[in-house]
Amino acid sequence: MLPKIAFIGTGGTIASIGADQFDLLDYNASGERVDASALIERTGIQGKFADIIPVDIRQIDSTALTSNDWWKLAETCLRIMEDPDVAGIVIGHGTASLEETAWALSLVLDAKKPVILTGSMRPLTGISTDAHANLASAVRVASNPGLAGVFVVINDEIHSPRLVTKTHTLRLGAFQSPWVGPIGYIDGPDVRLMRCKENPPPIFAHSLLRDLPRVDISYSYIGADGVGIRAYVAAGARGIVSAGFGPGMTTPAESSAVLEAIAGGVVVVQSSRTHSGLVVDSAQNRISGIIAGSDIGPVKARILLALCLARGDRQEEIERQFKTL
């Protein structure tokens, strides 16, 4: 008997219809996307190695997703996982924000079964599209009985949601886990896991996703004067992630704005615009009350900080989460 896999469609490039097979760049111009059932039918994988159950949430560009959509996704996954006959879940997702959704779900889902996010760099109708292969690989991984938790599967690779990031606008191998690499591979029908087979247990209730506080990202560059930081505070930000230089540094003007924000009750996490490597927990930052963001990139640090603030965590607990995750 074939394993049952739920496929949740959310739109994105993997479901997009271009003007013709050579339309690989501006395919969003048409705004046409197929639903989960049509995507499964067009890729031809139904019944080949899994019985796929289509589930639709929204058919949109992933840049339009909100944290409320994350809550809906989490709710849907939890409901599906209650069915003992379902072996795993695949989520079709746009690649623009795929890493954010994967990270958010990994923080809130107590996934006893595999939840796999996948997408494609070329539209469904494009010549040499990767939609078919990526969906097939994701279904194979979701059917693996030894796997549990949230993972990203793309380009025949399995990645941790904590580490994976999109590193190129167009190339099929855009998704990488810098300095660490994938945790597994898919070679034809074979799923090979090289490292951890499950995520750590979730640390947040998924209901928090419905009402996340405002947390903004400030990007450091030569001449940055802190105006952006002050504007975020004025807009009501409860947290700010500083995407600083190198190991976690800002311009002097930004540092002044950060100190003003902290004095006003805003929680500030220092990350790095390099997107990999450890942020130094410097003596000056500790004195200032700035939390070191470990090796978590700015985009994912924003999500973690927002969840901590939504739960009402104090400074010490937020620091602990960034150190231990």
Same domain, 152 and 255: no
293: CATH: 3.40.50.40
Q: Do 270 and 122 lie in a common domain?
A: no
At residue 201, does pLDDT exceed 90?
Answer: no
For residue 146, which of 192, 211, 180 has the smallest C-alpha distance? 192
CA distance 153 to 171: 15
Q: Return the ∠ at Cα 152 (arms to 150 and 157), rounded to 5°.
A: 130
CATH number, domain of 105, equals: 3.40.50.1170
Residue 153 in this model has a pLDDT that exceeds 70: yes
**CA 13 distance to own-chain centroid:** 16
Give the total number of structural domains in the chain: 2
Boundaries of domain holding 130:
4-193
- The answer to whether residue 202 sits within a structural domain is no
* Average pLDDT value over all residues in the chain: 96
The pTM for the full model equals 0.96
Contacts by 185-190 with C-beta closer than 8 Å and gap 24+? Answer: 185/156, 185/157, 185/158, 186/137, 186/140, 186/141, 186/153, 186/156, 186/157, 186/158, 187/156, 189/49, 189/140
Residues 244 and 171 in one domain: no
Over residues 253-310, the pLDDT tens digits come to 999 999 999 999 999 999 999 988 999 999 999 999 999 999 999 999 999 999 999 9
Q: Do residue 238 and residue 189 come from a single domain?
A: no
Residue 29 confidence class, pLDDT cut points 50, 70, 90:
confident
Residue 205 lies in a domain: no
In this structure, the answer to whether residues 169 and 219 fall within a common structural domain is no
Residues in the chain, total? 325
Instruction: Label residue 5 by pLDDT band (50, 70, 90).
Output: very high
Q: Is residue 288 assigned to a domain?
A: yes
How far from each other are the two terminal CA atoms of the chain, in whole angstroms? 38
pLDDT at 204: 97
- 13 classed as catalytic: yes
**292 in the same domain as 156:** no
Where is pLDDT greater, at 153 or 60?
Answer: 153
pLDDT at 197: 58
121 shares a domain with 176: yes
- Considering the candidates 10, 13, 95, 129, report the single residue annotated as catalytic: 13
Domain assignment of residue 115, yes or no: yes
Pick from 211, 208, 209, 280: nearest CA to 242 = 280
> How far apart (Å, rounded) are the C-alpha atoms in residues 42 and 65?
25
